[in-house]
């Protein structure tokens, strides 16, 4: 009887929680709308089928006249225009202008934001010294997804460690304790429509000194001066002039940093264009073949063009993949 009662309570709890969540889809000739409701918010996501734009609006479920946040983004999930955020009582928290990469915030709500702004200024200076002003002004974009925390030594059975305790909040959240560790992220922009997220990461201490965990910056071997000149359009045109295996598939582009040792790209950025041209399958393995071109993003010079493959195997229910392997004919 006891087990039956417990099971009944569990089922009722599950059904109650499930009832708080619902999704509705509406579609016309020009738009597709998904309306999601949960215990806190009503989310309206309207995709324009013939335009590169999505309208996203989040309102409080208790009062759907009250906006939590809303704005526009592209289909590649890049934010655009102005986004604002509010409390349920209507208190304005902040507005981010993603086109200008600036923001304004409610000083009454963001007690420690002036300190974060000071640290960001020091982070900007570090990047200016490494990459130069032209690169910083044209290619580096502050990403609002950074975070703050308070780190301290903690002792446990296995020893004493420097640990995050506690995590205080993202860069755009009001925090209620003075942080001593700041994680700051930057995107790299090649044009208004080509942005690569989180390629530069810095972790700074309480006085704005760069910590060793700032992976890319501590691995940079050389940074050429000046701005990037490469764009997706320029790179693809050069690829067409330097053909490999014939393919009608799309060209996919990536801006990467050479983390691995002993490669031509170690410690610097490189631009990569990838085009698949063949796929071979059997029961437990997929092999995909690619044309790959790599460029110097500062000069747009073609550095290499190769045919490469990736091997995908089903292992313990999961699909694993190899690194790119050069195809030698």
In the prediction, which pLDDT does 34 show?
95
270: nearest Cα among 259, 262, 285: 259
* Per-state percent for the chain, helix, strand, coil, to nearest 5: 20, 50, 35
State the pTM of this model: 0.81
Q: What is the pLDDT of residue 204?
A: 92
Read off the DSSP letter of residue 174.
Answer: -
Kindly report, residue by residue over 127-145, the tens digit of the pLDDT.
998 888 999 999 999 999 8
Residue 218 is predicted with a pLDDT of 52
Q: What is the dihedral of CA 149, 155, 161, 165, to 10 degrees?
A: -10
Kindly report, residue by residue over 58-83, the tens digit of the pLDDT.
Answer: 999 999 999 999 999 999 888 999 99
Name which residue leads in pLDDT, 92 or 160. 92
């Amino acid at each position: 009887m006891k087990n039956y009662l417990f099971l009944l309570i569990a089922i009722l709890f599950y059904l109650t929680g499930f009832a708080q969540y619902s999704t509705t889809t509406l579609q016309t000739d020009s738009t597709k709308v998904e309306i999601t409701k949960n215990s806190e918010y009503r989310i309206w996501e309207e995709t324009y089928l013939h335009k590169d734009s999505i309208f996203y609006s989040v309102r409080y479920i208790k009062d759907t006249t009250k906006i939590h946040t809303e704005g526009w983004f592209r289909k590649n999930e890049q934010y655009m225009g102005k986004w604002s955020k509010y409390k349920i009582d209507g208190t304005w928290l902040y507005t981010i202008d993603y086109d200008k990469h600036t923001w304004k915030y409610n000083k009454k709500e963001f007690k420690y934001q002036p300190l974060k702004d000071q640290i960001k200024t020091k982070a900007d200076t570090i990047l200016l010294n490494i990459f130069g002003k032209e690169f910083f002004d044209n290619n580096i974009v502050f990403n609002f997804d950074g975070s703050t925390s308070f780190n301290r030594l903690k002792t446990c059975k296995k020893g004493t460690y420097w640990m995050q305790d506690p995590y205080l909040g993202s860069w755009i959240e009001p925090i209620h304790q003075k942080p001593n560790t700041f994680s700051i992220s930057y995107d790299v922009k090649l044009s208004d429509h080509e942005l690569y997220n989180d390629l530069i990461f810095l972790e700074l201490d309480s006085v704005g000194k760069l910590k060793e965990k700032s992976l890319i910056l501590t691995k940079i071997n050389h940074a050429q001066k000046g701005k990037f000149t490469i764009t997706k359009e320029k790179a693809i045109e050069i690829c067409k002039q330097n053909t490999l295996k014939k393919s009608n598939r799309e060209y996919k582009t990536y801006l990467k940093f050479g983390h691995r040792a002993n490669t031509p790209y170690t410690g610097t950025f490189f631009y990569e264009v990838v085009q698949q041209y063949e796929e071979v399958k059997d029961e437990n393995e997929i092999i995909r073949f690619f044309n790959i071109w790599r460029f110097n993003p500062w000069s747009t010079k073609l550095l290499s063009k190769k045919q490469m493959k990736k091997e995908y195997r089903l292992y313990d229910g999961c699909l694993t993949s190899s690194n790119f392997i050069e195809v030698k004919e």
